[in-house]
Structure 1
Amino acid sequence: MPTSPIVQLLIAVGLLACLVSLWKGGTAERVGAALVLASIAFSLFGAILLPKGAFLFGQMVGDAAVALGLLALTLRYGSPWMGMAMLLYAAQFALHSFYFVTQRPNDLFHATMNNVNFMGVILCVALGTVTAILRRMKQRRAAAART
């Protein structure tokens, strides 16, 4: 379990954003939030259950899988927030792969970029959910005005 208060706060906000998205989002937002939740779960439990080398490799594979999943969703639904989240996960993959290949220990730059990147993903999920809620409210108002 992460001991940094910043990381714990990011995880809590990320979980909250994903749960709200699962509850109130549209289909695209729900699937995207599920992908991000799976990534969070792997990060939390993979660090505990897997050896360090396997976990680092698994992080890269997970980042790539989430980025590809978000790419498929972006192509299917065309939401700008998914495209941005996909690009952020691709950047996350690049960050993790650079540190994995060069066998560098995680440093302040890695932690900062990882946290900023994940905060961007959380904001994308939240923005997508708010957009879906507003779109649904607008459709309901338009339907009520027609009757």
Structure 2
Amino acid sequence: MHASAARFAERVSEEYGFEADIEEFPDGTKTAADAAEAVGCSVSQIVKSIVLVADGEVIVVLTAGDNRVDTDALASELGVGSVRTGNPEEVKAATGWSIGGVPPFGHESDVATYLDESLLDRDRIWAAAGTPDAVFALSPDRLRSIADPEPTTAFE
């Protein structure tokens, strides 16, 4: 197992008592479509952990693989002036993970997290496990209980 995936598994086991069953795919799961194809699910069952910066504060939006965050709508919803995509350094510093491998929880720092509630309509969902090549499955209820996200409707 890749060192970052192993670090994720250890962290979430220790912090949340969650035993992530991590699957690694040598061809990668860099996009939601790649991940869905690799695990044999629909793109809507893939959790994208989108790291954004809202007026200087790093936040994470957990969205279904077939949705896109509407940053203008999110800024309005959060009552901030602007929301932009985090750069690689901001992503790594706030979450401890690199772009493409950011899991929905188990971050380096406490980051405000928001949830696309369409993920709750699924029986099983899949998320990144610390690398662009590793994913794990969980139930939407488990995601909500561990990540403790605020709901958002800011999607295109």
Q: TM-score, normalised on structure 1? A: 0.27
| Structure (1/2) with the larger helix percentage | 1
Tell me the TM-score normalised to structure 2 length: 0.26
